[in-house]
Amino acid sequence: MTTPATPPSEEAARPTVVRTRAELRDALAAWALSGPDVTDRRAVVMTMGALHDGHLALVRKAREDAGPSGQVIVTIFVNPLQFGPGEDLATYPRDLEGDVAKVAAAGADVVFAPTPDIVYPDGDPVVRVSAGRIGEVLEGAFRPGHLDGALTVVLKLLHLTRPDLAFFGQKDAQQLLAVRRMVRDLDVDVEIVGVPTVRDADGLALSSRNAYLSDDERRTALALSRSLRSGAEVAASGGGARDVLATAAGILNDEDGVVVDYLALVDPTTVDEVPADHTGPALLLVAARVGTTRLIDNEAVDVVAPPEPEGDDDAAGQEASP
């Protein structure tokens, strides 16, 4: 009689959970000593926990790109430097055990879940990374210091985890641009990979803060993605930058319960607002409050030049005739 194979235990598939710098160093060293294939790499996904399918898409992409014997590290750290006065640091959702189970299924090898005293052993850091002018507009204008805090912890976690690849969601478009610029400007030896926004079936971009929305507020929040889609359609049809913004703004203004912080059409490499005669790639960005919940979203658009009015050539030819 053949004995059935024992299924792998849940514990065996569980990532190594480390909380201190020393434990993290040991996990990094153990992988290096395991003899990974020379083509495989170490990848990191940085999160603040309360993980959803958007985060897990990052982990799955990291698993794929790192290679079969690569190492995938997920950091879970609610970074106090990213929260301003009156924001939800104390109430931000936390569920480490649930998060570990989720990333295990997505292919993570290590979870680094430090406390603030591990990341900032001397208290609030005196020296921080500045996002420069990228951090002064849009999110930076409404959340002063937010992007500086994000870049500071990203740089620290890159140094601590020493990855070849780092994965970030395109939903946080301004943060992704700031991280790319930091890596380039400060010569950080890592490849930054952007992963497309994951949405629910109704179009709402996944966010840990969606849990704060009531059923009615969630329906109201769908105006954000609807406005972006409509703006993208106008861009593709040759409506021009002004019409793109006007169309998106109209949808948001018509939805009771949406308070817009900003709506902007920007250059995807600088976040500078594009001129009215812009054609080509752009990002349509929105931040708004629904109830007490602040949401952000964006859509990549391609602004097509408006078609030439019919009959112009004939008219010009007639005017030139004697």
Other CB atoms within a 10 A radius of the CB of residue 220 amount to: 18
Count of H helices and E strands in the chain? 11, 9
CA distances from 263 to 4, 125, 160, 257 (A): 59, 33, 36, 16
CA distances from 281 to 151, 174, 240, 263 (A): 25, 15, 12, 17
Catalytic residue ranges = 55
Task: Find the angle CA(149)-CA(154)-CA(159) to the nearest 5 degrees.
Answer: 130
DSSP state of 240: -
Q: E-assigned strands of the chain?
A: 16-18, 42-47, 71-76, 110-112, 165-169, 191-195, 258-266, 280-290, 293-303
